[in-house]
Amino acid sequence: MQVDSTRLLDAPLIEVAGEIDHGNASLLTAAFESTIDEGADIVLLDLSDVTYLDSGGISAILAAVRHLRDRGWLGAINPNANVRRLLEIVGLSVDNGFRVFADRTEAEKALGESSES
């Protein structure tokens, strides 16, 4: 798995490629913790190149959502059908602290709406 941290507009963007599993989920957790510790209220997670996600990855995502819930949200960009289904099964699709976007353009639109609030 490869994890890179960049930005999309004013929001931190964590880009992940490969498989997220118990063996490497700590890399994702570290990226979330670093970003959240810097004071981010909104964090984006680009899952476009993620081919597999297990409970280790879900745990990292859930922990980030918990940390952001009272002040912002975590947005997942372009998860494949299997990853999206797993996110739905664990209840993230109905969590106010979590959003799913089809692509970066849709995420940018949501960021614009958040900054207007």
State the Rg of the chain over Cα. Answer: 13
pTM above 0.75, yes or no: yes
Phi and psi angles of residue 11, each rounded to the nearest 5 degrees, phi first: -100, 145
**pLDDT confidence of residue 114:** 76
Which CATH number covers residue 60?
Answer: 3.30.750.24
41 DSSP assignment: S
Nearest Cα neighbor of 52 from 25, 71, 72 is 25
Burial (CB < 10 A; 0-12, 13-18, 19+), residue 16, is buried
Domain total in the chain: 1
The percent of residues above 70 in pLDDT, for the chain, comes to: 97
According to DSSP, the β-strands at 73-77 and 11-20 are unpaired
Residues facing 77 on adjacent strands: 46, 101
115 pLDDT more than 80:
no
Expressed as residue numbers, the domain containing 77 is 2-116
**pLDDT confidence of residue 94:** 92
Q: Convert the pLDDT of each residue in 38-94 to its tens digit.
A: 999 999 999 999 999 999 999 999 999 999 988 999 999 999 999 999 999 999 989
Q: Convert the pLDDT of each residue in 21-34 to its tens digit.
A: 999 999 999 999 99
12 pLDDT more than 60:
yes
Would you call 19 helix, strand, or coil by DSSP?
strand
